[in-house]
Amino acid sequence: MDFGQIFNLTAGELIGVFTAAYALCALGLAMHFGFTGLLNFGQAGFAALGAYGYAFAALKLGWNMWGSFGFGMVCAAVFALILGLPTLRLRADYLAIVTIAAAQALYFFFGTEKYAAFTGGSNGLSEFGGDFYGYNPFPVGRYDLGIITLSEKEIWIRVVSWGLVAFVAVLLVILTRSPWGRTLKGIREDEDAVRSLGKNVFVYKMQSLVLGGVIGSLGGMVFVLSSQTNQASTWVSNFTFMTWTVLLLGGAATILGPIVGSAVFFMFLMFTQAFLEGLVNIGALPFLSIAQVGQIRYLLVGLFLMLLVIFRPQGFFGNKKELQFNG
Amino acid sequence: MANIEQIAKGAIEPGCAKVDPILVASGVTRQFGGLKAVDVAHLEIPRGKITALIGPNGAGKTTLFNLLTGFDKPNTGTWNFAGKDLAGVAPHKVARMGMVRTFQLTKALSLLTVIDNMRLGAQDNPGEKFFAAFVRPLWANKEREITERADALLTRFKLDAKRDDYAAGLSGGQRKLLEMARALMSKPELVMLDEPMAGVNPALTQSLLEHIKGLKENGTTVLFVEHDMHMVRHISDWVVVMAEGKIVAEGPPADVMKNPAVIDAYLGAHANSDLGDVEIATKEGN
Ligand SMILES: Nc1ncnc2c1ncn2[C@@H]1O[C@H](COP(=O)(O)OP(=O)(O)OP(=O)(O)O)[C@@H](O)[C@H]1O
Ligand SMILES: [Mg+2]
pLDDT digits (tens, 9 = 90+) for A267-288: 999 998 899 888 888 888 888 8
Q: A with B: how many residue pairs have Cβ under 8 Å apart?
A: 103
Mean pLDDT to the nearest integer, B45-72: 95
Task: Answer whether A233 touches B (CB < 8 Å).
Answer: no
Among candidate residues B80, B112, B86, B82, the one with its CA nearest the CA of residue B182 = B112
Work out the mean pLDDT of chain A and round it to a whole number.
Answer: 92
B246 backbone dihedrals φ, ψ, rounded to 5°: -105, 155
Task: Answer whether A197 touches B (CB < 8 Å).
Answer: yes
Torsion of CA A211, A215, A218, A219, to 10 degrees: -150
User: Checking DSSP bridges between strand B190-194 and strand B221-225, what pairing results, if any?
Assistant: parallel
Q: What is the pLDDT of residue A320?
A: 65
Candidate from A130-139, B3-12, B130-139 with smallest mean pLDDT: B3-12
Q: What is the pLDDT of residue A314?
A: 81
Rounded Cα–Cα distance for residues B145 and B119 (Å): 10
Q: What is the pLDDT of residue A318?
A: 76
- Subunit contact B120:A174, Cβ cutoff 8 A: no
pLDDT in tens, A141-156: 999 888 889 999 999 9
Q: What is the pLDDT of residue A227?
A: 93
Q: What is the pLDDT of residue A259?
A: 96
A3-311 CATH: 1.10.3470
Tell the residue nearest (CA) to atom 26 of ligand 1. Answer: B57
Contacts of B116 in chain A (CB under 8 A): 182, 185-186
Rounded Cα–Cα distance for residues B110 and B172 (Å): 12
How far apart, in Å, are the Cα atoms of A51 and each of A57, A106, A132, A215, A247? Answer: 10, 12, 13, 12, 21
CB atoms within 10 A of CB B280: 10
Confidence bin at B278 (pLDDT 50/70/90): very low
Q: What is the pLDDT of residue B284?
A: 42
CB atoms within 10 A of CB A291: 8
Rounded Cα–Cα distance for residues A33 and A184 (Å): 10
Q: What is the separation of C-alpha B199 from the centre of its chain, rounded to a whole number of angstroms? A: 16
Rounded Cα–Cα distance for residues A145 and A78 (Å): 40
Alpha helices in A201-288 (DSSP H): 201-225, 237-250, 256-281
What 3-state DSSP class applies to A286?
coil
How far apart, in Å, are the Cα atoms of B143 and each of A180, A198, B95, B185? Answer: 12, 17, 20, 12
How far apart, in Å, are the Cα atoms of B72 and each of A262, B86, B88, B261? Answer: 43, 12, 9, 29
- Subunit contact A193:B107, Cβ cutoff 8 A: yes
Handedness of CA A80, A81, A82, A83 (dihedral sign): positive
Task: Answer whether A173 touches B (CB < 8 Å).
Answer: no
- Subunit contact B107:A322, Cβ cutoff 8 A: no
Rounded Cα–Cα distance for residues A210 and A74 (Å): 10
What 3-state DSSP class applies to B239?
strand
- Subunit contact A190:B109, Cβ cutoff 8 A: yes
pLDDT in tens, A62-106: 999 999 999 999 999 999 999 999 999 888 889 999 999 999 999
pLDDT at A24 over 90: yes
Contact A69, A221 (CB under 8 A): yes
In residues, how long is chain A? 327
Share of chain B above pLDDT 90, in %: 65
Interface with A, mutate which of B118, B120, B123, B143 (most A CBs under 10 A) = B120
Helix (H) or strand (E) holding B19: none
Mean pLDDT to the nearest integer, B244-249: 92
- Subunit contact A181:B129, Cβ cutoff 8 A: no
pLDDT at B229 over 50: yes
Q: B266 versus B29: which is more confidently predicted?
A: B29
Q: B189 versus A294: which is more confidently predicted?
A: B189
Confidence bin at A322 (pLDDT 50/70/90): low
Centre of ligand 1 to C-alpha B28, Å, is 15
Q: What is the pLDDT of residue B273?
A: 41
Q: What is the separation of C-alpha A320 from the centre of its chain, rounded to a whole number of angstroms? A: 24
pLDDT in tens, B171-227: 888 899 999 999 999 999 999 999 988 888 888 888 788 888 888 988 999 999 998
Rounded to a whole number of angstroms, the distance from the CA of A243 to the nearest CA of chain B is 24
Burial of A193 (0-12, 13-18, 19+ CB in 10 A): buried
Beta bridge partners of B168: none
pLDDT at A316 over 70: yes
Q: What is the pLDDT of residue A313?
A: 81
Which of B28, B29, B63, B66 to mutate for ligand 1's pocket (most ligand atoms within 8 Å of CB)? Answer: B63
Rounded Cα–Cα distance for residues B151 and A74 (Å): 43
Q: Which amino acid is at B78?
A: T
Q: What is the pLDDT of residue A148?
A: 87
pLDDT at A319 over 70: yes
Alpha helices in chain B (DSSP H): 61-68, 91-96, 114-121, 140-156, 172-184, 202-217, 229-235, 253-258, 260-267, 275-285
Contact A19, A262 (CB under 8 A): yes
Confidence bin at A317 (pLDDT 50/70/90): confident
Q: What is the pLDDT of residue A104?
A: 96
pLDDT at B280 over 50: no
Mean pLDDT to the nearest integer, B75-100: 94
A199 backbone dihedrals φ, ψ, rounded to 5°: -100, 140
Mean pLDDT to the nearest integer, A245-257: 91
Buried b / exposed e across A214-246, counting CB within 10 Å, b at 16+?
Answer: bbbbbbbbbbbbbebbbbbebbbbebbebbbbb
Among candidate residues A187, A214, A213, A189, the one with its CA nearest the CA of residue A200 = A187
Q: What is the pLDDT of residue B5?
A: 54
- From A174, A186, A196, residue closest to B112, measured CB to CB: A186
B24 backbone dihedrals φ, ψ, rounded to 5°: -130, 120
How far apart, in Å, are the Cα atoms of B88 and each of B29, B152, B218? Answer: 14, 35, 30
Q: What is the separation of C-alpha A215 from the centre of its chain, rounded to a whole number of angstroms? A: 9
Among candidate residues B32, B75, B46, B40, the one with its CA nearest the CA of residue B61 = B40
Rounded Cα–Cα distance for residues B183 and B118 (Å): 8
What 3-state DSSP class applies to B32?
strand
pLDDT at B281 over 60: no
Mean pLDDT to the nearest integer, B140-159: 94
